[in-house]
Chains A and B, each alone.
Chain A
Amino acid sequence: MKNKFFSASIIIIFIFIFFIFYKGLENSNIYTPKTNVKKNVPFFEAKLFDSSNKIKSEDIFNKNNFYLFNVWASWCIPCKDEHPFLMKLSENKNIELIGLNYKDSILNAKNFLKKYNNPYKTIIQDIDGTIGIEWGAYGVPETFIINNDKIIKRIIGPINETSFLEIKEIIK
């Protein structure tokens, strides 16, 4: 009787463990950071794109309106896909576009903007990728919508039709 109870409990434990691992198989193993958390804009100091002057984060996000902070690079192919959406957003007066030129050569970046137009009001440089890390970004392109010094939306990957409409809805 005791022996039976013993083996039954072992079987139950193994079924339990199997079930947990089996459930684990269904989970996606591709990680995306939580996007719904409202974080503050990180503090940073960066070089401006077209001059040797430095600018602090509080000098960029100093107004009460909406900001779009876009991580881009001339070598990034999806950045070309989202560029038309950025151009459309730059015509909107409710939002100001800030570009973070990520690990790029200035010459290539300038050519990129010449070819596709410049949607950004301010562009800052991130030569070694450390400012991107302050933002919690891990790839290019990535977009943050900021209001009142808080990140209210984050788009990982290029802006598409859906996210473009979502942004328009937010800044209405």
Chain B
Amino acid sequence: MGTIWAIGKREFASFFNSPVAYLAICLFLFAIGAMFFWWEDFIDQGQTTMRTFFEWVPWLFIFLLPAISMRLVAEEKRTGSFEMLITMPIRDAELLLGKLLGASLFLVVTLVLTLAYPLVINQYGSLDLGPVLGGYIGLFFVGLAFLSLGLLASTWTKNQIVAFLLGAVLCAFFFGLHKFVGVFSPGLRDTVAVLSLSDHFETFAKGVIDTRGLIYCLSITILSVLIGTYSLESRRWSR
């Protein structure tokens, strides 16, 4: 546990030394701000609700979070500091969980920065706190799943751009799975919907904390860390 915390702390601190992280978070906040101010329907639905906000943020996450996670392992491999890290007494799973912890702390900071919107909306009519809380919890878990997919992509390459693109593709795939499948085979759509993050997220956005949704997000996270551990270990295999 101490090791995971040490790695997470270091990783979190290093985000604030990285222009990429600042840039990504600025673009993200700008995108939300732009929607908020210029797209009338975004809030003006005759009621004070954050529904549209919660529907759109996950789509932005598909680009934001892989940009945050792309460097986690890829950058260490490129600069060689990976050798230093991997020859310390750290289990491969601890290494990945530590990295994920650091990135999740950064996600929390990002989410806290968006709290301005519910606060502003609340000025124009009392906002129902339940759905907002549910929505934020949902965003955190979807974000966690996205970060872990991005982390997995980052273990496969030395190149951050490749890690970003792979991560974004993985996130988009899991998020909109049933939508893609629906295009090709409408019959399968509902079956696959269970495997699609966005379908689960719709219930979060309504303010319902759906355990199935949480479990699904956590499953993607755990699976990504497991596969990532496997990819790190493969380095130690012969030939």
Q: Are the chains A and B members of one assembly?
A: no
Give me the interface of A with B, judged by CB distance under 8 Å. none
